[in-house]
Amino acid sequence: MLAQRENSAYLPGFILPAALTITSDLAEACAGAHMVVMVVPSHVYRAVFCQVKQYVGAGMVVVSATKGIENESLMTMTQIMADEFSLGSYAVLSGPSFAREVAAEKPAAVTAAAYDSKIAATVQEVFFTETFRVYTSTDVIGVELGGPLKNIVAIAAGICDGLGLGTNTRAALITRGLAEITRLAVTMGASPLTMAGLAGLGDLVLTCTGDLSRNRSVGLKLGQGMAIAAIQSEMRMVAEGVKTTKSAWNLSRKMNVDMPILEQVYLVLYEGKTCPEAVHALLHRDQKEETALSMCANHR
């Protein structure tokens, strides 16, 4: 990247801005910074932050753009940072934003969330461009849960597409997937309105329907009959939804929240259940009434 000014492995075809300095040294990367953005996979987030935190000074904002839930602790990324270093100022950036389209300056909109609205506004100001619109929120847990949980539904959507079940199925899955996500998020303290916004519904629709979605791609191949081990072995980039499925499944059980789509994806990924069996199980659940309350905590 230093020589070619291009990330040929993960974002080929885009020349990196001249003002962008590239380094593999954390101390150099953090020196003099007023904001640090963490975009490492969730399963190594804690380890990397433990190295970064020694450079976190007064007034520095650390922004998480990682969409995951830690397997061992069941914590989100801002919770991990607060757990490791309680004196920091933390924020989260999330929403429907495939990197390739953002790099191509195609219009996108995301949400910056922090418990302090002034910090959220600072993140908004830094990232806002003519083609990248940033909204603010103080619902940190809602914005942060929408990203990882939609990846699981995207795997399910890919499975449906791989099985050739059609667009009716996909639409129903997205809608009921949003209900599940909202139930868990509200139980964790989020606002249901957040889940109807960019970090919830927006990101969910993108990842369940977009051809650039790694998680949908995993599901597509599962639906076509490939084993998860074979799928992962041929992937260069991380599909966060695979690991998140396990942590989200444990989190839903801990919080006593019914999430049938999540459960079936978990059984396919980790218990060897076939995709047709998972679809059959979802379709043959007890009949329900659909109400607004069915998307909120303790309503299933």
pLDDT digits (tens, 9 = 90+) for 97-154: 999 999 999 999 999 999 999 999 999 999 999 999 999 999 999 999 999 999 999 9
Buried-state track 246-282, b at ≥16 Cβ within 10 A, e below 16: ebbbebbeeeebebebbbbbbbbbeeebebeebbeee
Is residue 129 included in any domain, yes or no?
no
Count structural domains, the chain.
1
pLDDT at position 58 = 82
- Does residue 217 form part of some domain? yes
Q: Would you state the pLDDT for residue 16?
A: 95
Phi, psi (degrees; rounded to nearest 5) at 91:
-145, 170
Q: What is the pLDDT of residues 88-111, one digit of tens each?
A: 899 999 999 999 999 999 999 999
- Residues with catalytic roles: 150
User: Which residues are 94's β-sheet partners?
Assistant: 111
Is residue 265 in a domain? yes
Specify if 65 maps to a domain: no
Domain that holds residue 260: 141-295
232 part of a folded domain: yes
Q: What is the pLDDT of residue 284?
A: 95
- Please give the helix or strand (H or E) that residue 156 lies within, else none: helix 140-162
Residue 127, exposed/middle/buried by CB under 10 A (0-12, 13-18, 19+)? middle
Instruction: Tell me if 115 is assigned to some domain.
Output: no
Here the CATH number for the domain that contains residue 150 is 1.10.1040.10
Does 42 reside within a domain?
A: no
- The residue assigned the tokens 């966060």 is 240
Please tell me the pTM assigned to this model: 0.92
Q: Are 76 and 248 in contact (CB under 8 A)?
A: no
For the chain, which residues score pLDDT lower than 70? 238, 292-300
Cα–Cα distance for residue pair 160/116, rounded to 1 Å: 40
Q: Is residue 61 part of a domain?
A: no
**Given this model, what pLDDT does residue 295 score?**
58
Per-residue pLDDT, 298: 55
